[in-house]
Amino acid sequence: IADAIEDRQSEIIEIECRNTGKPISLTTSEEVPPMVDQIRFFAGAARNLEGKSAGEYMPGMTSMIRREPIGVIGQVTPWNYPMMMAVWKWAPAIAAGNTVVLKPSDTTPASTLFMAQVMSEFLPAGVFNVICGERETGKLLVDHTTPVMVSITGSVRAGMEIAASAAPDLKRVHLELGGKAPVIVYDDCDFEKTVQGVAEANLYNAGQDCAAGTRVIVQEGIAKEFTAALAKKVAEFKFGSPENDDHFYGALNSQNQLDRVQGFIDRLPSHAEILTGGKAQRLNGGYYFEPTLIAGLKQDDEMIQTEVFASVQTIQTFKDEAQAIQMANDVDFGLAASIWSENHGKVIRTSQDLDFGQVWVNCHLVQAAEMPNGGFKHSGHGNDLSTEAIEGYTRVKHVMSLTGR
């Protein structure tokens, strides 16, 4: 399957970019190669699952542990990374021996359907199934008695609804539900590299990323200089049609998403200051939002506490490590965070205290197939990627045999 998708990557890239508005150049370099690598990783990892060794834990008895497929898995994927999130769902589930019924977002189903067509050349009928539809279709999938596990990447509201729907049947639930990632910038960071990295941390994919670096928290000693430099850098990023290689990001998903983002701007309190951007634009039929940086917000303001999911970044200041950690953790989300500093001890201390499932140091939005991706608190539970994902799609069986000794 990985080879076939790689061979036909020009087709799936064209489909994905037409469906989402993503830049073709970034999709070609940043999405398809990792996606193919992830499929190959799961193919190999399925042959190397670990467990306790068989042994005698009671006289005359030998025990062993089996990891078995769970059965039919219902999965729901989002519109921000349609093809890659589909891979994060079906690859570990099928590698573990399960069958899958997957519902893509109603606004971006095309690349998942193409993938299913490619996969049908290699998988027995019924192993990978795709159904299309809106929210009601997803609800019917979750409510149905056949799936024994449900996995979703989506909003907190959707996750809570699915958890409630799964409860009567005691279905297993894997939830990846978004975030509000803090970006902690200490005064001993590499200034220029940090400015560039922090800007990209939120603008990649038009900010439509659960782990996007939306909340910049910078130390007071460099706050004025860093804020000015970041505002200048953010304003330099270009956006627009997928065909132009100079465009760093493309359109928002829909008119609904654009209206939602505009609502956050319209509701900004009087003490907020838009340093750059802040406006919607319609280009060639697409829904775009300018690269935006906002200062002056307080910790309990809506834009600090709520996921915007757009090219909108906020910046706050802190005095010391303790306050940085307190501000970073003071949200309902716990998916991802990043720390920017040249002090190793400070980085280790901060990473230990951050209440997030993934912490980057002097980088952001970097993923390895071998490492887990999952969150805490309202960001959900369970992991995508790594052997943790495969194990999450298995059940553990203890087999005990009388040996007669």
Q: Which residue has the tokens 């997928």?
A: 242
The SS3 call for residue 403 is: coil
Q: How far apart are CA 250 and CA 206, in angstroms?
A: 6
Q: Which of 176, 200, 290, 307 is catalytic?
A: 176
Q: How far apart are CA 169 and CA 335, in angstroms?
A: 27
User: In the annotation, is 210 catalytic?
Assistant: yes
Q: How far apart are CA 325 and CA 334, in angstroms?
A: 13
CA distances from 117 to 4, 89, 152, 153, 178 (A): 11, 17, 22, 22, 29
71 alpha-carbon distance from chain centroid: 25
The full length of the chain comes to 405
Q: How far apart are CA 8 and CA 35, in angstroms?
A: 13
Q: Which of 200, 210, 307, 391 is catalytic?
A: 210
Which residues, in sequence order, are CB contacts of 136 under 8 Å at separation 6+? Answer: none
Q: Which residue has the tokens 């200490």?
A: 186
Q: How far apart are CA 151 and CA 162, in angstroms?
A: 9
> Active-site residues: which are they?
176, 210
